[in-house]
Chains A and B, each alone.
Chain A
Amino acid sequence: MIGRKQQPRIGVFVCHCGVNIGAVVNVPGVVEYARTLPNVAYAEGNLYTCSSEGLSKIKEAIKKYDLTQVVVASCTPRTHEALFRGACEEAGLNKYLFHMANIREQCSWVHAKEPDKATQEAKEIVSMAVAKAALLEPQTEPEIDVQPSALVIGGGIAGISAAVSLGHQGFSVHLVEKKDKLGGKLNDLHNLYPTDRPSSDVVEECIRAVKSDPNIELHTLSTVKNVEGFIGNYKVTLDQDGKEKPLDVGTIIVATGAEVFEPSGMYCYGERQSVITQFELEQLMKEKKLKKPQNVVMIQCVGARENKEGGRNYCSRICCATAVKNALEIKQTYPTAEVSILYRDMQTYGKDFEDYYERARENFVQFIRFDAESPPEVIPRSKGKYTVRVNDILVDETVELDADLVVLSTPLIQTDEAKGLSKLLKVPLGSDGFFFEAHVKLRPVDFATDGVFVCGTAHSPKTIPESIAQAYAAASRAGIPMALRRVHTEAITSVIDEDLCTGCGTCIKLCPYNAIKKDERGIARVNDVLCKGCGLCAASCPEKAISMRHFSDKQVLAEATAALGGS
């Protein structure tokens, strides 16, 4: 760390952002005001500070006026901080010596009708930024090496696809499967929609791809027992049939799949043999054990879309197309069988399923629509026969159907192992039980924890091609740090004053990233790579022994003092 040497020389750049700020805030007035602030060596206004012209002005001023810190008063750091930090770096200034004041979202946009007050507020925001900037210090981001090897947990279609892609990318892959055979749920499925290709074909193709890739090492009958470390350097312990096996990997992909919900007690399931789940029907058909049925009734959304507190409120996405496929298949094998599908909304979304649904209607599969408020009833009669009573809302009539086979479409649910894995990897599960990604829209396979990714039905119910595409996505995201062989981590981390730390352990318990441990002397120590700079520890330390880099008490207090009109 460089010691404080000279008086700070701060440059302030106030942006008009076209009319966004300039039409409300008196920008020249703010510039004039900035020049009067302590430590400000230079100030100017720009039409667009983020334009290439604005950026070159920052760079020129850094050199010409020997600036030690830079403040840009403009929009939000979320979108523009990296840009301005980059300009500072290009002019030889450490990027942590840059500070941004938001006078658009936090000022001109919200006070568009009060230009005078907005100008006053913009001045105050700039004075706060300058007060903090004067105390900014250069920071270095820790750089860590990344091992070019990955752990893929789960040998279903998602895990296999991710492993094969990573193998092709040239990385070594450890593919871990708890069972003795690859393929996951595909091993239990019969034919796959929408091409009706036998599932066993696809499994065989996958196994061949894994076996023929020298980069992939397969660990069957194995589970993940322990995980330590961080991106680039994970130490993983497998439990292989009772024996421990250590692995060193750089990244981890979670592809543990999902289970099928068992509807015990619903619609006589579990009490009668001929009430089965859609998944069990698949298995019967696969093993050619399905006895010729006369009347098949399928019921959709069994235990899904419940719309109640703590319920399985989600739509399981794949069940409607599965029901259509199996109905068609029964019709094909046993043309005299009657098949009815009782549904709430047919989820035959996308390009191919609608056509499939149409084909089922052409083949005389009967579709009956019911409301969630009045679900069907399954009434047992003699010898494996049932009456299914349902209110058909399209004709507003209660119909009674004979059935000798009742098939319940139940949702995919998270596996039992997921909770343990979520704790081991420090990655969250959502309220639906599925793994919860870093950003629902734009980071669908990332976790907030660097170096760990998710794909397939462990993330949410999805079809095979959707799982494959997502698996490739996880392979792309995991491939980035492995291709670069190194990553930079955040410089904003916590620092512990060893003289003040009493080793009480408060911070260790609070840290959501497991970044703090006690050393041999009983004093807390921060792992800079794991620390995300959230500040929980610093805020809670009873001895005030913890401070945050780039957010020191001194800096924050200076900002607050400026806000209150002091200096």
Chain B
Amino acid sequence: MPDSVLVIGGGIAGIQASLDLANRGTQVYLVERTPSIGGRMAQLDKTFPTLDCSICILAPKMIECYRHKNIKLLTYSEVSEVSGEAGDFKVKVLQKPRYVTDEKCTGCGTCTEKCPVKAPNEFDMGLGNRKAIYMPFKQAVPLVATIDALNCLYFTKGVCKVCQKVCPSGAIDYEQRPEEVALNVSSIILATGFDPFNPARMKEYGYGRFKNVIHSMEFERLICASGPTGGHLIRPSDGKEPRSIVFVQCVGSRSQRGEYPYCSSVCCVYATKESILVKDHKPDTEVYVMYMDMRAVGKGFQEFVDKAKRQYDVNYIKAHPGGISEDPKTRSLQVYYEDVRACDMKKLDADMVVLCPALVPKEDNKRISEATGVQIDEYGFFKSKNQLTAPVDTVVPGIYICGYCQSPKDIPESVAQASGAAARAAETIACKSKET
């Protein structure tokens, strides 16, 4: 009878569930699709409403996972098969080749320095570049290099091998193959998180066409000290500091015309946080937040919004803009909206616009749903067994859900729900061991 648990997803929810279980003595396998754990929270600059540096409060937990004797990290890996039942699931995990032996790699970074190939850095939302051999970010866990075979000269053209030549530990291994790991676990926790919806679909806002229209995850990297500009908030078009920024809420969410009808729950307050960050960086920047309903429903959130208005002079406008146009010369923008008070169309000039897109469940949930039998709803969120009384349970006994993949929620709610899923998994182990 295994008393171990598989956690799928290495963001804050998956990390918290893993640590709770490991700390009570349960063996945990934490599977993460990308080369490092950390998830979305690792990409954020600060967190609301306390303005804590996100990676600074997350990194200790990531390192704790790495060091924990009861946690086996399976990064750059995907679950390929699940069978069995609560108390006895058989799982196959596919470990993708990094082409770097992780026991040998010290994360020194010599290879990434010398690698001649540049590729867009996913961690910086494509705003900066990384090399073809890379570590996603400085605090990555594990701090091990990964070769991106799609861009590597050796894999695409059969030449180069510079990384192998410079690696002081002989860690480069071009012959690595995908490896299948078989696990036997008592329960499974799904914590796959979210992606931002691609706002290019809403053509009226010009995302993708207008350089100075960006989305909020890009903004987080742009204002972060470890981001591509070193935290210097500048316009993508000309590198100038914007004098005015407009945040647009509900881009693709709360939509009645085919995008996502639900509310993403976190945007009103993170836009408030981002507004405060702009003001902190450059107090004379004009900041506007255009919103439909100000949803600051969490603990201390309404107070945070009040503070942004009072102390930071952030302007909140009740409006959902109809469109954005660009001055082709200056690349500056005009935001068109209906002033509900004056009942007429107005125009607001902005050096930069930040769109707050719907946050949507991972595409991959469909595949996980097929593999596990856990149901997904029409948007791809994993379905609770009962949305009123069994939020972390699924219709499959022994499989639990937490974090954004269950429904939109913020970090503390994700952390709480992750601990909650851990409790349910611990119950499964306790009940099964009582039976036998």
Residues of A within 8 A of B182 (CB): none
Is B162 located at the chain interface by the 8 A CB criterion? no
Q: Report chain A residues within 8 Å CB of B298.
A: 317, 460
Whether the pair B295, A352 counts as a contact (CB closer than 8 A) is no
Residues of A within 8 A of B299 (CB): 314, 430, 432, 434, 440, 459-460
- Whether, in the assembled complex, B302 has its beta carbon less than 8 Å from a beta carbon of chain A, the answer is yes
Residues of B within 8 A of A52 (CB): 103, 106
Which B residue's beta carbon lies closest to that of A345? B293
Docked complex Cα distance between A82 and B61 (Å) = 11
- Bound state CA distance, A468 and B294, in angstroms? 26
Flag if A444 contacts B412 (CB, 8 Å). yes
Q: Give Cα distance in the complex from A283 to B412, angstroms.
A: 32
B358-415 contacts to A (CB < 8 Å): 377, 379, 381, 384, 386-392, 402, 407-409, 411-413, 415
Closest Cβ of chain B to A359, distance in Å, is 12
A520 shortest CB reach to chain B, Å: 39
- Contact (A473, B420) CB under 8 Å given A48-B106, A86-B67, A479-B426: yes
Residue of A nearest to B408 (CB): A350
CA distance A20 to B138 in the complex (A): 10
Q: How far is the CA of A459 from the CA of B411 in the complex (A)?
A: 16
Contact of A48 among B108, B391, B423 (CB under 8 A): B108
Q: How far is the CA of A205 from the CA of B390 in the complex (A)?
A: 12
Q: Is B20's CB under 8 angstroms from A480's CB? A: yes
Number of interface residues of B (CB under 8 A): 82
Of the candidates B303, B426, B434, the one having the most CB atoms from chain A within 10 angstroms of its own CB is: B426
Chain B residues with Cβ below 8 Å from A473 are: 415-420, 423
CB-CB contacts below 8 Å: B213-269 with A = 254, 261-263, 265
Stretch in B52-60, B200-208, B326-334 touching the partner: B52-60
Which of A189-197, A382-390, A527-535, A550-558 is near enough to bind chain B? A189-197
B341 touching A396, Cβ below 8 Å = yes
Contact of B297 among A51, A349, A432, A442 (CB under 8 A): A349
Whether B343 contacts A395 by the Cβ 8 Å rule is yes
Identify A192's interface contact among B49, B301, B388, CB under 8 A: B388
B80 at the interface (CB under 8 A from A): no
Closest chain A residue, CB of each to CB of B267: A349
**Distance to closest chain A CB from B37 (angstroms):** 14
- Which chain A positions have C-beta within 8 A of B262? 350-352, 354-355
- Chain A residues lying within 8 Å of B263, measured Cβ to Cβ, are 348-351, 353-354
Q: In the assembled complex, which residues on chain A have CB atoms less than 8 Å from the CB atom of B430?
A: 168-170
**Cβ-Cβ contact count across A and B, 8 Å cutoff:** 217
Interface string of A306-332 (1 = CB under 8 A from B): 010000011101000000000000000
Interface centre among A86, A347, A349, A434 (most CB of B within 10 A): A349
| B63: Cβ under 8 A from any A Cβ | yes
Query: Is A477 at the interface (CB under 8 A from chain B)?
Result: yes
Q: Which residue of A lies closest to B64 (CB)?
A: A82
Residues of chain B within 8 A of A477, CB atoms compared: 20, 419
Give Cα distance in the complex from A518 to B160, angstroms: 74
Interface assignment of B156: CB less than 8 Å from any CB of chain A: no
Cβ–Cβ < 8 Å partners of A48 in chain B: 106-108, 143
Q: How far is the CA of A396 from the CA of B342 in the complex (A)?
A: 8
Tell me whether A228 is interfacial, beta carbon within 8 Å: no
Residue of A nearest to B402 (CB): A469
Is A79 in contact with B427, judged by CB distance below 8 angstroms? Answer: no
A315/B23 in contact, CB under 8 A: no
Give every chain A residue within 8 A of B342 (Cβ-Cβ).
396
CA distance A124 to B264 in the complex (A): 50
Compute how far the CA of A545 lies from the CA of B431 in the bound complex, rounded to whole angstroms: 53
A96-125 CB contacts (< 8 Å) to partner B: none
Partner of A441, one of B50, B254, B377, B387: B50
Q: Are A18 and B303 within 8 A (Cβ)?
A: no
Q: Does A475 contact B (CB under 8 A)?
A: yes
Q: Given the complex, which residues of B lie within 8 Å of A440, measured CB to CB? A: 49-50, 299-300, 412
Q: Are B408 and A83 in contact (CB under 8 A)?
A: no
Contact between A351 and B426 (Cβ–Cβ < 8 Å)?
no
CB atoms of A484 and B24 under 8 A apart = yes
Determine how close the nearest CB of chain B comes to the CB of A22; give it in whole angstroms: 10
Q: Are A441 and B52 in contact (CB under 8 A)?
A: yes
Q: Which of A170, A192, A459 has the most CB of B within 10 A?
A: A170
Which residue of the partner chain B has the closest CB to A317?
A: B297
- Report the bound CA distance from A194 to B377 in whole Å: 16
Asked if A476 meets B389 with Cβ closer than 8 Å, knowing A314-B299, A350-B409, the reply is: no
Bound CA–CA A348/B264 (angstroms): 10
Residues of A43-101 whose CB lies within 8 A of B: 47-48, 51-54, 78-80, 82-83, 86
Contact at A469–B63, with CB atoms within 8 Å?
no
User: Does chain A have a CB within 8 A of B340?
Assistant: yes
Is B422 an interface residue when CB atoms closer than 8 A count as contact?
Answer: yes
The answer to whether A79 and B59 touch across the interface, beta carbons within 8 angstroms, is yes
Q: Are the CB atoms of A432 and B300 closer together than 8 Å? A: yes
Contact A169 B426 (CB under 8 A): yes
Q: Does A470 contact B (CB under 8 A)?
A: yes
Query: Contacts of B409 on A, CB cut-off 8 Å?
Result: 350
Proximity string of chain B (314-346) to chain A, C-beta cutoff 8 Å, 1 when within and 0 when not: 000010000000000000000000001111000
- Please state if B389 and A441 are interface contacts (CB–CB under 8 Å): no
Q: Answer yes or no: A143 CB below 8 A from chain B CBs.
A: no
| Distance in Å: Cβ of A458 to nearest Cβ of chain B | 12
Instruction: Point out the residue from A192, A395, A465, A475 that lies within 8 Å of B391, measured CB to CB.
Output: A465
Q: Which of B74-106 contact A (CB under 8 A)?
A: 103, 106
Contact A205 B57 (CB under 8 A): no
Name A448-505 residues within 8 Å CB distance of B.
Answer: 459-460, 464-466, 468-477, 479-480, 483-484
The residue in chain B whose Cβ has the minimal distance to the Cβ of A394 is B340
Q: A82-B67, A345-B294, A354-B254 are in contact. Are A314 and B303 (CB under 8 A)?
A: yes
B419 touches A476 (CB 8 A): yes
Query: Complex Cα distance A154/B412, Å?
Result: 22
The docked-state distance in angstroms from the alpha carbon of A86 to that of B47 is 30
**A419 on interface, CB distance cutoff 8 Å:** no
CA distance A465 to B390 in the complex (A): 7
A202 in the interface, Cβ–Cβ < 8 Å?
yes
B310 to chain A: closest residue by CB: A307
Q: 9 tightest CB-CB pairs across the interface, nearest first?
A: A472-B420, A473-B419, A476-B423, A345-B293, A168-B427, A483-B24, A465-B391, A460-B299, A444-B412
- Interface CB pairs A-B, < 8 A, 17: A20-B138, A48-B107, A169-B426, A169-B430, A192-B388, A194-B387, A314-B302, A345-B295, A351-B263, A354-B263, A355-B262, A440-B299, A441-B411, A469-B391, A473-B415, A475-B423, A483-B24
Which residues of A are at the interface with B, using a C-beta cutoff of 8 A? 18, 20, 47-48, 51-54, 78-80, 82-83, 86, 165, 168-170, 192, 194-195, 197, 202, 205, 305, 307, 313-315, 317, 345-355, 358, 393-396, 430, 432, 434, 439-445, 459-460, 464-466, 468-477, 479-480, 483-484
Known: A305-B302, A315-B297. 5 other contacts (CB 8 A): A195-B386, A314-B301, A315-B302, A470-B416, A476-B419
